[in-house]
């Protein structure tokens, strides 16, 4: 009888590196990155990924494991199968755009931190579902945070509304704002004013620059 291989997924690699952005910015992590359509991908069974995690952890010291890339919560069955086979004392960070709030509970067993990342001028529907993901993480008793990555079209009003809404969900939300690469942070008082206004709405808001590649990874 043929053996069943179990769940598989297309990964853009399992590198070790330094987190480029967000709540655990600067932390040394193992990255489980689900591949986007334009990326070179390798198919991994859950067992193969579990073995790779165990080998990597045995060779060096890490702060945590990052689960990110394209739509990681579409692969909850695969992730659970992987961590069933590779139990680890390392905390796991789920970095998501928050569009699958119902899937957070299914991965709760292995998740330490849920980080909802909003890129650019996020549409209202995306923000609504992202904040619902934040709410599910709070209700599940998980560490939780919001990462705001504005572009040139993102207004301060949009950012502040998200800060206010996140605060209404949980006063314990960690919020990090990353100006886009190339924005004149050193010459533009916008960021000082924005941070002052955000701090009046929520007690844990940070402004930070992302680590550029190849040092920074996500």
Per residue in 182-202, pLDDT (tens digit) is 777 777 788 999 999 999 999
Closest C-alpha among 151, 116, 161 to residue 136: 116
Q: Which domains does the chain have, with CATH numbers?
A: 8-217 (3.20.20.70)
What SS3 class is residue 169?
helix
Q: Over 50: is that where the pLDDT of 3 sits?
A: no
> Residue range 22-38: average pLDDT?
94
Reported as a single tens digit per residue, the pLDDT across 87-115 is 878 999 999 999 999 999 999 999 999 99
pLDDT at site 182 = 76
Pairing of strands 113-119, 174-177: unpaired
pLDDT in tens, 107-149: 999 999 999 999 987 777 899 999 999 999 999 999 999 999 9
pTM, two decimal places: 0.91
């Amino acid at each position: 009888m043929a053996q069943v291989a179990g769940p598989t997924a297309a990964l853009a690699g399992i590198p070790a590196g330094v987190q480029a952005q967000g709540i655990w910015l600067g932390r040394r992590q193992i990255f489980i990155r689900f591949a986007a359509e334009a990326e070179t991908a390798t198919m991994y069974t859950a067992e193969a990924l579990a073995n790779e995690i165990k080998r990597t952890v045995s060779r060096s010291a890490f702060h945590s494991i990052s689960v990110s890339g394209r739509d990681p919560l579409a692969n909850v069955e695969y992730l659970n199968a992987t961590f069933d086979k590779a139990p680890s004392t390392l905390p796991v960070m789920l970095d998501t755009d928050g569009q699958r709030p119902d899937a957070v509970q299914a991965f709760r067993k292995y998740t330490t931190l849920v980080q909802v990342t909003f890129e650019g001028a996020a549409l209202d529907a995306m923000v609504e579902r992202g904040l619902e993901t934040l709410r599910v993480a709070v209700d599940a008793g998980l560490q939780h945070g919001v990462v705001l990555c504005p572009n040139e079209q993102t207004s301060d009003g949009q950012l502040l509304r998200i800060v206010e809404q996140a605060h209404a969900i949980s006063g314990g939300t960690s919020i990090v704002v990353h100006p886009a690469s190339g924005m004149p942070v050193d010459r533009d008082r916008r960021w000082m004013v924005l941070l002052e206004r955000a701090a009046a709405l929520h007690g844990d808001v940070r402004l930070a620059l992302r680590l550029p590649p190849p040092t920074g990874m996500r």
